Amino acid sequence: MPKFRKSFLLIFGFLSLTFFLFADGAWSAEFDYDLSIKQSDIHFSKEVLISGDHIRIYAKVRNVGNQDITGYVSFFTGAELIGNSQPVSVVPGSGDDVFVDFVIPENSFNVLAKIQGTEPVDQNSSNNQEQTVLIYPDKDTDADGTVDRLDSDDDNDGLSDAEEQSLGTNPLKADTDNDGYNDKADRFPLNAAEWQDTDNDGAGDNADVDDDNDGWSDVQEKSYGTDPLKKDTDGDGLADPQDYFPLDRSRTEKPRDIFQPQAKANQDSASADELAAAEDNTEDVNNLEELQRELADLNEGQEVAAEPAEENLEKIGLPVEKSDNKIKDFFRFDNWLLWIGGAIVLVLLAIAFVMFLPGRRSSPRKSLDSFNKSAGNKPAGAVRPGLNQEFRRTSPNVINLKDLNKNKK
């Protein structure tokens, strides 16, 4: 009995196989011209389909008729043709592979492969097209090679998807507010007008009038040439308003001037050091008052040295007693004008003395007597009366030589 069952099973299997083979052949041979495509004959160049990826779609077309046949295979996604229609030439019992390039869309899709334009005409159109199942592509938002469903930071902005959810930002968008700064670097990721808060006071730099919170407004810093985003522009350890040289790290304080108190860099934000400097300046002013008294005692010979001190006293608003030393200066020993003037006076006095000295000038009578004696004549009293009268009529200072000559003869 067991042998009989075994033989029966062998015969039954052989007959079944023969039946299916002949049945399939009889069905295929029903049409001379028949191209066929199945859903399993459509596949893609990649197993993981990611939105935006470039792939290829393959399809295998089979000739299930009895005669050679040619035609075209077209691929569609929805109503849109993918690439160009691909030609096929297939002999009976064989197949031909075709493909087109395709960019995977962001949303779900399917692909339809359709046989058309056969030559001779396909006698069985029921197997001339097939469509894939609906495909949901994966997404790789940050293009890092890891699909979003497996990536903890889909937009690669430095914030995890969980952190973005708590902040209210978009985990699929690196810059949620589109201000040019990604969400990780943006202090205000939901405010397109702000992205930075230099002094961490809660106000964005665009709205904050003092970005570095150093006491100088951004407008003041611009006029001074300092950095509105740095409290200490020159990096010398002293904030810009307290630094008398905010652009020179080698100097911080104004050089002391005993004639002028040091001005404060910022009256609104005076430090303890500035108050101490102000006290020093008060002492300097007191010293200047004493100096003023000393200058009053050094008028003569100290004009050149006193003038700068007086000018400095005037700058700080202290009264200056100015003495008129012109007369004293004129009678100085080294004044050459004084010597010239004195010499002129002495010369004039000598001339006057010579001209007006008493007893040096003779009377006309004495002059006439002297003249007569030198000429051998008689004294003036013995001259004839006519001559004396004529002589008297003339000027007392004029001698008539003609009369003198006659008397001689």
Q: Is 0.95 topped by the overall pTM?
A: no
- At 43 the three-state DSSP class reads strand
Give, in order, the Cα–Cα distances in Å from 25 to each of 29, 34, 128, 146, 273.
6, 13, 19, 49, 109
Q: What are phi and psi of 129, to 5 degrees?
A: -150, 155
**Domain ranges in the chain?**
35-131, 364-408
157 sits in the region (left: phi over 0; alpha: psi -120 to 50; else beta) called alpha
Q: How far apart are CA 206 and CA 215, in angstroms?
A: 17
Cα 26 to chain centroid distance, Å, stands at 88
What CATH number has the domain spanning 35-131? 2.60.40.10
Tens-digit pLDDT profile for the chain (409 aa)?
A: 455 555 655 676 666 655 544 444 444 448 999 999 999 999 999 999 999 999 999 999 999 999 999 999 999 999 999 999 999 999 999 999 999 999 999 999 999 999 999 999 999 999 999 999 999 999 998 888 888 988 999 898 999 999 999 999 999 899 999 999 999 899 899 899 998 888 888 888 888 889 888 889 989 988 889 999 888 898 888 888 888 888 888 887 776 665 555 554 444 444 555 555 555 555 555 666 676 676 666 654 455 444 554 555 454 454 545 545 566 666 676 777 777 888 898 888 888 888 776 555 545 555 555 545 555 555 444 444 444 444 445 445 555 556 655 555 5
Q: How far apart are CA 6 and CA 9, in angstroms?
A: 5
Among candidates 145, 140, 61, 59, which has minimal Cα distance to 102? Answer: 59
